[in-house]
Amino acid sequence: MVSLSQVTNSVFHDFADQDARFKRAFAVLDAAIGQAAFPGAAVAIVDSGRLVALKGCGNFTYEPKAPKVTPQTVYDLASLTKVLATTAACMVLYERGAFLLEQKIVEVLPEFAGSDQRRALVTFQMLLAHSSGLPAYLRLFETAQNKADLVAAALRVPLASDPGSRLEYSDIGFIVLGTALERITHEPLEELCEREIFAKLGLNFVTYRPPFAWLPLIPPTEDDRTFRHRRVRGEVHDENAWVMGGVAGHAGCFGDVEAVASFGQCTLNGGAPLFQRHTVDLFTRRQSTPADTSRALGWDTPSSPSQSGKYFSRRSYGHLGYTGTSLWNDPDRQLSVTLLTNRTWPDRSSAAIKQVRPAFHDAVVEALG
């Protein structure tokens, strides 16, 4: 076994016993590929601070000569952006006193107020916990022409419920949150995250708007027949984020499985060099309100049933991405599991990954005893 710190920047990996040790877990992925749940997957498993599995399965697409997935394959991380970028940036800025969790969003974004007096009650904490009252999703890209248009539209989206009254996972809320961070720091979200998170942690293969040189490493996410009318590859899958130029609070990051695992392990280790331990504890702790919420601040925690499977403890935290990505950390087991796929290829109709994820996580935990 090799320590995670030793392999963070390496280009070749050889784990002699991983295929035997995680035979059942990898078989779950191979079966899913055979059933067209997704064409390929990349996996990283970190146990007690040691990277014990790093593997690619399947191919970029279902075409016979499609490239093989390897640990260096770079995936559209979709909503993992919410934790790797936006939530992480919130954690950094919160520690520096740049905002307070109970602070009202209208203090930073006065244009969010509108005529509905309830909007003045929305706080940073509510946006992070998905309890702001904003709806889950709107197709703002259908009328917005650019980032300014789409952000202006997001800031005008009517509340669907009273702030703080119920959980509704909201992309719109994270677009607003990302905009607030840009207003606070007076710089693009992309630059903030690159300097304060990706570069500090040495994540060479996590970025917004991947360079053209990365294209051979990136599988396509969809054969888009309705909006862009082309294969979507190397550009963000989410249409709202695409109109925003590929950089948004809710989506836009690309990365390889080892980089995502390194970020996960950073939080399990207490946050250094990015955060202090008490900040990690605060942001990954399940919220007490609204009733029955499974959300922490930015992060999710296991619900019943959970995509993390049946073994991850109640103190676990993680996140999913629409394209078929996930990161789950269990501080009690000191376990981090990253699974990256492009389950949206060739279209987004298959939901089979919802059965694959928990079966895979269960097999991993069983293999580790």
Tens of pLDDT, residues 124-138 = 999 999 999 999 999
Is residue 310 in some structural domain?
yes
Instruction: Report angle CA 210, 216, 222 to the nearest 5 degrees.
Output: 75
Average pLDDT over residues 28-52: 97
**Mean predicted confidence (pLDDT) in 101-119:** 97
Q: Which tokens is 197 given? A: 């998170």
Domain that holds residue 301: 2-83+191-368
Residues 6+ apart with CB under 8 A from 208: 85, 189, 190, 193, 194, 246, 247, 252, 253, 254
Q: Whole-angstrom Cα distance, residue 79 to residue 92? A: 19
In the prediction, which pLDDT does 15 show? 72
d(CA 322, CA 237): 9
Tell whether 148 is covered by a domain: no
Give helix 171-185 / helix 88-95 axis angle, nearest 10°: 40
211-270 pLDDT, tens per residue? 999 999 999 999 999 999 999 999 999 999 999 999 999 999 999 999 999 999 999 999
Helices 88-95 and 277-284 cross at an angle (nearest 10°) of 130
> Is it the case that residue 4 has pLDDT exceeding 70?
no
Residue 14 pLDDT exceeds 50? no
pLDDT at 5 (0 to 100): 46
CA 317 distance to own-chain centroid? 12
Tell me: the pLDDT tens digits for 45-103?
Answer: 999 999 999 999 999 999 999 999 999 999 999 999 999 999 999 999 999 999 999 99
Average pLDDT over residues 309-332: 98
**120 in any annotated domain:** no
**CATH number where 238 lies:** 3.40.710.10
pLDDT at residue 144 tops 50: yes
**Is 209 within the bounds of a domain?**
yes
Cα dihedral 143, 166, 180, 153 in deg (nearest 10): 10
> Total structural domains in the chain?
1
- Write the pLDDT tens digit of every residue in 159-177: 999 999 999 999 999 999 9
Residue 127 lies in a domain: no
154 pLDDT more than 80: yes
Mean of pLDDT values over 339-349: 98
d(CA 146, CA 178): 16
- Kindly report the pTM of this predicted structure: 0.96
**Per-residue b or e along 241-269, where b marks 16 or more CB atoms closer than 10 Å to that residue's CB:** bbbbbbbbbbbbbbbbbbbbbbbbbbbbb
Q: Kindly state whether residue 348 falls inside one of the protein's structural domains.
A: yes
Look at 13-22, 142-151, 311-320 and tell me which has the smallest mean pLDDT: 13-22
What pLDDT is stored for residue 316 in this prediction?
Answer: 98
DSSP strand pairing (206-208 vs 50-58): unpaired
Query: CA-CA distances (angstroms) from residue 298 to 171, 174, 344?
Result: 11, 9, 24
Asked if the structure places residue 248 within a domain, the reply is: yes
Q: Please provide the average confidence, as pLDDT, over all residues in the chain.
A: 95
CB atoms within 10 A of CB 185: 16
Rounded-to-integer distance, Cα 120 and Cα 343, Å: 39
Using only the alpha carbons of the chain, give its radius of gyration: 19
The position carrying tokens 């300097």 is 195
Question: How many other C-beta atoms lie within 10 A of the C-beta of residue 316?
Answer: 24
Query: Which structure tokens are listed for 94?
Result: 């919160």
- Structural domain contains residue 161: no
